[in-house]
Amino acid sequence: MIVCPGQGSQTPGFLSPWLAIPGVRERLGWLGAVAGMDLVKHGTESDEQTIKDTAVAQPLIVASGLVSMLALFEHPADGFRLVGAGAGHSVGEITAAAAGGVISAEQAMVFVRERGRAMAQASAVQPTGMSAVMGGDPDDVTATLTRHGLTPANINGAGQVVAAGTMEQLAALTAEPPTKARVIPLKVAGAFHTEHMAPAVDVLSGYAKAMSTHDARVPLVSNRDGAVVHSGREVLGRLVSQVSNPVRWDLTMETFKELGVTGIIEVPPAGTLAGLAKRVLKDVEILALKSPDDLEQAHRMVKEHGKSTGSAQDPTWRLVISPAKGMVSFTHSEVGTAVEAGSIVATVGTLRDTYEVVAPHGGRVVEWLVEDGDPVSPGQPVLRLHPQEG
C-alpha cells in the first residue's frame, strides 16, 4: 500500500538527494511549470518559512510524491498491478488520486495550485493555525478543545488529534492543555479542515466541474470516513469537500486493517504517516521513503507485498466494490437488470452510517458475488456487470 503525506511534513532541502536520480529534476521542473512556481528551488534551497506558505507547500508536497514514484515504479502500469490500495492525508489525497489514475499529474498540479491559493486566501482573513495534541484521555481532549472553541480537524489515531482554530484559541490550548497531553504547534498557516476554509471549497467546486476523471485503477481509501472509493467523480468530489471537513486518519487506518494490508510505503516527504502506522498497525511492514537510500528496501517490499488488486478494468467484466465494512442491501437484485453508470446498486449499513454502492460503469447485472444481507468488507467485489453493448 502507498500512503501520501499532508502539509506540515515538508522540511528544507528534503528533495535534494532525489534530484540525483535521472529524470527526477526534469519531471519536477515540468510539474513546477504547470504549477507556476520553481519547485526544484523550493524542494532544495528554500527556507522553512518559504515552504511553510500554504500556496507553496501544497504543490511541493504533491509533486514530491509523484516524482518519487518514478523511482519506486519505473512504469506507471507496474504500480497499478502491484499496489493493493492507496491513500493520502489531507492534500496527500491529491497525490494518491493522480497516482491511482483518477486525474493526470498535470490536473493534480493545477488543482493543488488553486487549492493552496484558495486556502491561503481563506487563512488570511484572520490568523489561524493548527496544533497537535499528543496523548491524554480522548474524552478530556475533546472536552478541552470544545472549551477553547477549537475543532478536531485531524483525528489521526495513535493518541494524536490536531486542533484547529484562531491563534488566540490555540494559545489558550497551550496554556491550558488536556491532562497528561502535549501540545505541539504545526508548520501550517491556517485552520485547515474547518469552517474557516469554506471559501476555498466554493472555488474548488467550480474547477472540479470542468475536470475530467477516470475511475481509480487501485482502491483508494478516503480520509473522510475510511471508505474505499472507486468512482473518479466521487474521488474528485471528496477532494473538494475535504478542505473544510475533518480528516479521519484513524478510520482510514482501520480500513487498512480490514483490507489485510501487510506492507505500507509512505512517499516523500515521509515520516509522519509511517510513525502513526507503526503505533497502530502491528505486524505490518512500514517504510518511510525519505531518500533514495531507502529505495532498495522499497523495491523489495513492492516485490514481497505487491499483488494484483483485481480492479484493473477488464474489457469483458466490470466489478462493483463495497465502499465500507457492514451489511449489504441490494437495490438492483435481478440478474439481467440494466444499470446506468452512476446508479446506486446497493447500500452498506454500518453502526455509524449508510454508504451507497455505486456502479462506476453502465452494464447488466450478471452475478451478485454476495447475498443480500451478507457482511462485506471495504474493497470487496459485490457485483459483476457486463458492459452495455454499443
Report pLDDT digits (tens) over 95-112.
999 999 999 999 999 999
Separation of alpha carbons 116 and 129, rounded Å: 15
Separation of alpha carbons 371 and 375, rounded Å: 9
Query: pLDDT tens digit string along 43-61?
Result: 999 999 999 899 999 999 9
**8 Å CB contact between 360 and 372:** no
How large is the average pLDDT for residues 309-338? 72
Separation of alpha carbons 18 and 158, rounded Å: 30
How large is the average pLDDT for residues 85-101? 95
The whole-number pLDDT of residue 76 equals 55
The position carrying cell 498535470 is 106
Separation of alpha carbons 367 and 136, rounded Å: 49
* The pLDDT of residue 312 is above 70: no
Higher pLDDT: 277 or 126? It is 277
* The pLDDT of residue 316 is above 60: no
Name 283's Cβ contacts closer than 8 Å, sequence gap at least 6.
Answer: 262
The whole-number pLDDT of residue 105 equals 93
* The pLDDT of residue 330 is above 70: yes
DSSP-assigned beta bridge partners for residue 285: 263
How large is the average pLDDT for residues 67-76? 79
* The pLDDT of residue 150 is above 80: yes
The whole-number pLDDT of residue 314 equals 41
Cell numbers given for 40: 526544484
Task: Name the pTM for this structure.
Answer: 0.81
The whole-number pLDDT of residue 317 equals 62
Separation of alpha carbons 357 and 344, rounded Å: 6
**8 Å CB contact between 3 and 265:** yes
Least-confidence region, from 113-122, 194-203, 264-273, 353-362: 353-362
* The pLDDT of residue 12 is above 80: yes
Beta strands 375-376; 326-330: pairing state: antiparallel
User: Residue 159, Cα to own-chain centre: how many angstroms?
Assistant: 20
* The pLDDT of residue 66 is above 50: yes
* Active-site amino acid positions: 90, 193
Q: Whats the size of the chain, residue-wise?
A: 390
Higher pLDDT: 231 or 208? It is 208
Mean pLDDT of the chain: 90
The whole-number pLDDT of residue 78 equals 65
Instruction: For each of the domains in the chain, give its residue range(s) and CATH number, in order of start.
Output: 2-122+195-305 (3.40.366.10), 124-185 (3.30.70.250), 318-387 (2.40.50.100)
The whole-number pLDDT of residue 337 equals 83
Q: Can you give the three-state secondary structure of the chain, one letter per residue?
A: CEEECCCCCCCCCCCHHHHHCCCHHHHHHHHHHHHCCCHHHHHHCCCHHHHHCHHHHHHHHHHHHHHHHHHHCCCHHHHHHHCCCEEECCCHHHHHHHHCCCCCHHHHHHHHHHHHHHHHHHHCCCCEEEEEEEECCHHHHHHHHHHCCCEEEEEEECCEEEEEEEHHHHHHHHHCCCCCEEEEECCCCCCCCCHHHHHHHHHHHHHHCCCCCCCCCCCEECCCCCCEECCHHHHHHHHHHHHHCCECHHHHHHHHHHHCCCEEEECCCCCHHHHHHHHHCCCCEEEECCCHHHHHHHHHHHHHHCCCCCCCCCCCCEEEECCCCEEEEECCCCCCCEECCCCEEEEEECCCCEEEEECCCCEEEEEECCCCCCEECCCCEEEEEEECCC
Query: pLDDT tens digit string along 174-190?
Result: 999 999 999 999 877 78
* The pLDDT of residue 377 is above 90: no
User: What is the sign, positive or negative, of the torsion defined by CA atoms of 186, 278, 239, 95?
Assistant: positive
Cell numbers given for 281: 498497525
| Radius of gyration, alpha carbons of the chain | 21
The position carrying cell 494559545 is 171
* The pLDDT of residue 387 is above 80: no
Least-confidence region, from 120-134, 167-181, 305-319, 336-350: 305-319
Separation of alpha carbons 132 and 150, rounded Å: 12
Cell numbers given for 140: 478530556
Residue at 217: amino acid letter: R
